[in-house]
A and B are shown apart, each in its own frame.
Chain A
Amino acid sequence: MSIDAPQNPTTEICSEQLVDPHPLTRKDFQSGQEVKWCPGCGDHGILMQVQNVLPKLGIPREKICFVSGIGCSSRFPYYLNTYGFHGIHGRAPAIAMGVKCARPDLSVWVVTGDGDSLSIGTNHLIHCLRRNLDLNILLFNNRIYGLTKGQYSPTSEFGKKTKSSPWGTIEQPIHPIEIALAAEATFVARSVVASPQHLSQTLEAAARHKGVSFVEILQDCVVFNEGVLNSLGERSERDNNWVFLEQGQPIRFGKNREKGIVLRGTQAEAVTLGENGVREEDLMVHDSGSPSRVSAYLLASFNPPEMPMAFGIFRQVQKPTYDDLLVEQANEAIAERGRGDLPRLLRSGTTWLVD
């Protein structure tokens, strides 16, 4: 996968920090608060990778702000020694927008869950994505409501039996990556707690992307949805059921990378190299920078066992960010009219003197 960083403020700050004789370490980002997630919860792994990635970015701690909503995932800011804001259910993207627009120089992260931002807060998520605010949005998807103790979530599989669906859900699940693609997010990726290295690389690429970064992170809820990752392929079968996308490379998977994806018309098909005359040149080549979102949708829709679950960066393109445009408009107004002169503003329009 490519983690080449486009030009952005984080890299600028990075260069300033290169001369820092005391580079930050993982420890600098631990808040010292007791971490209260259940033992074995995927959140621990995500926290660890975030704490690994943050020092690499070279951004001073005080310039980082984590914003969350409500749910297990949303306790995240308490465990990081940065600025943090634990908001209300579903509203983290909207809160983060306020933070970023007031202080575009901050590195702002949103931590949310499948219930938080695909149910009560779907609206904010979509609008935040389409505006291309320069935020990093991490969506922890365990396909269940954990904090409220085990109701189905909007990403739960059809028919899933939970406390609130003893006969199985009668709802089709929502697909986070497809939502992000539809909103034309400029960075859309999926990773998984079970692959720490991939998670770390994806988080770093997201952080270095200028514009909105959306990362869906699949995880287990060990108490209320244990084994949800296994539903995407038993551990021993993961090589056959998971495919990791690499920019510019033919899409291959399998224990010995003997499998691949070919396009037949508008359909994708999993194939084995050498079978039926399939050669590597026939395989679909992953292009996350494609102006078209069609192949990204296709990859995002893969589901085991028919097709392997796809991980990696589905889409990464450059577009002006909302926060840059906001500041630019102000600068343009100042260039055109001069810096606001309040006494003049108050006296504007028709005035008259009483003496």
Chain B
Amino acid sequence: MNHDVLAAELHGLRERVAGITDTLIAANDGVLILADMSEGIDTEVISALAAADLGIARRTSEIAGHGAFRQAVVHSSGGYMAVYAVGSLALMVVLGDEGLNVARLHQESQPALERINSILSAA
């Protein structure tokens, strides 16, 4: 796995979408793989919470019969947390401030997720 390429993907996403403050990639069980995060944010805690969030969100869309899971978004008065599935084995967390354009984030994140998935599964 090439960590530099992975870091470049996270950095590129932050450059392309205004409002992204932090990003992180973790395995589905919440074990951190790579974080591009500000000091003062506990990356381990965010990874673990995101894994739980993803599990609940996936199950919810299944039970509600809403089809394939896409993303889980937590919208607070001061910002956003979006959790995306990276293939079937990992997840990506995007934190943003209240200005984040979520529609643009979804649009820009799809090709990035595909590339991140292929980097993670490459030998």
Q: Do A and B bind each other?
A: no
Q: Which residues of A contact B (CB under 8 A)?
A: none
